[in-house]
Amino acid sequence: MKISIIAFDDFTDIDVFFMWDLLNRVNHPDWKVQILGDQCCHTSSTGLRLHTHGRLEEANTSDAVLFASGKGTRRKINDEPFLSAFNLDSSRQLIGSMCSGALILAALGLLEGKRATTYPTSKRLLESMYVTVVEEPFVREGNVATAAGCLAAQYLVGWVIEELIGKTERDAALKSIQPVGEGLMFADLEASEVLPNAPFVRQQSTS
Amino acid sequence: MKISIIAFDDFTDIDVFFMWDLLNRVNHPDWKVQILGDQCCHTSSTGLRLHTHGRLEEANTSDAVLFASGKGTRRKINDEPFLSAFNLDSSRQLIGSMCSGALILAALGLLEGKRATTYPTSKRLLESMYVTVVEEPFVREGNVATAAGCLAAQYLVGWVIEELIGKTERDAALKSIQPVGEGLMFADLEASEVLPNAPFVRQQSTS
């Protein structure tokens, strides 16, 4: 199974990296996660440089395609070469977006007559694209889903993992990122601890 | 104010990028966030390449220093050149860690006789370093704090923002990443929407 995250310049850091990290927690021999873009590198809205793993066209043969968010989405919805690279098919692919990534789904015609969610700062723009925008963290319409508010990536990625592999793997991935004592307990993972050589402990200076 | 995130090879993606993203949501003229390392680039445990912004020694003049986590911490607690670069002082700096980053705090002598938390897979190792490990998401001992379970970054970063700037800025940063309808409402940020040129909406093919 191949899962593609779509990035572009001026992406919101957390919306790419949270999906990436969570998806990579799946332990399955047939599970490949990749970040695609129309350049070899994209720069986030805070200036971090991200090396992409492949071209946008690889999304068309992916089992799941997840669009990132950020200021850059406002340019991408008017970027015809970018939009033309996609030939997605919701009858055979899971397609989703984080926050303002919903604008790209709309520009690709994937939200026609559908309900969707987006970040508050792109609500009116998404409405102007003939989408019914609802104030919910995760909206699924068949194989097309939108999530909004960065931490809602848990719903979006959880959906992809459950649909492609199963609920057990979804639950394990989501549990592994919860705060200790609030969803993740020591006993859940302690047995998998690997101890290295004896660590060096420096005495703190008294100054 | 200068806030430094310490990275290294084999870091856990989300524990660097979540702190980075959250800290960058602070809108204050005197607020600089940087990622430091002992190389120009570090590679995460999933293979993402991260360009660092400066040398480890810059941590010593930072107002807050936050250690990332990941498999790489097991090497760093035995890496004397790495440890020697730090001359941190909890009387004038906020010092914190995510997950197994607590191992580095312990190796630096900053957790002597203190309570701390860490990721389940590094609990016994941290205990072997004479630290009282507790099953809590966030443990603060004066100006030294540990957080564990990736989403507990909210507690750690929230603490730093509140201590250095104030509660209003902390609350605003944390609210901005909550799921829509579950902590973040459209009305919270909608007014700041900027509309671009009219977007292009492609008709979906009927095939």
Q: What is the pLDDT of residue A193?
A: 72
Q: What is the pLDDT of residue A158?
A: 98
Burial of A202: CB neighbours in 10 Å, binned 0-12, 13-18, 19+: middle
Q: ∠ CA(B157), CA(B58), CA(B41), 5° rounding?
A: 85
Q: What is the pLDDT of residues B143-197, one digit of tens each?
A: 999 999 999 999 999 999 999 999 999 999 999 999 999 999 999 987 777 566 5
Task: Judge: B123–A186 Cβ closer than 8 Å, yes or no.
Answer: yes
Q: A179 vs chain B: nearest CA distance in angstroms?
A: 4
Task: Judge: A186–B135 Cβ closer than 8 Å, yes or no.
Answer: yes
Strands A41-43 and A49-51, how do they pair? antiparallel
pLDDT band for position A204 (cuts 50, 70, 90): very low
Query: Which candidate from A18, A49, A187 shows the least CB-CB separation from B14?
Result: A18
Taking one residue from A and the other from B, the number of pairs with CB-CB distance under 8 angstroms is 237
The predicted model scores a pTM of 0.93
Task: Judge: B129–A199 Cβ closer than 8 Å, yes or no.
Answer: yes
pLDDT of A206 over the 50 cut: no
- ipTM of predicted complex: 0.92
Name the maximum alpha-carbon separation found in chain B.
68
pLDDT band for position A133 (cuts 50, 70, 90): very high
Contact B125, B103 (CB under 8 A): yes
Task: Name chain B contacts of A180, Cβ cutoff 8 Å.
Answer: 117-120, 135-137, 148-149, 152
Q: What is the pLDDT of residue A205?
A: 43
Q: Residue A180: helix, strand or coil by DSSP?
A: strand
Q: What is the pLDDT of residues B49-92, one digit of tens each?
A: 999 999 999 999 999 999 999 999 999 999 999 999 999 999 99
Q: What is the pLDDT of residue A202?
A: 53
Percent of chain A past pLDDT 90, that is, above it, reads: 91
**Identity of the amino acid at A195:** L
Task: Name chain B contacts of A13, Cβ cutoff 8 Å.
Answer: 17, 20-21, 24
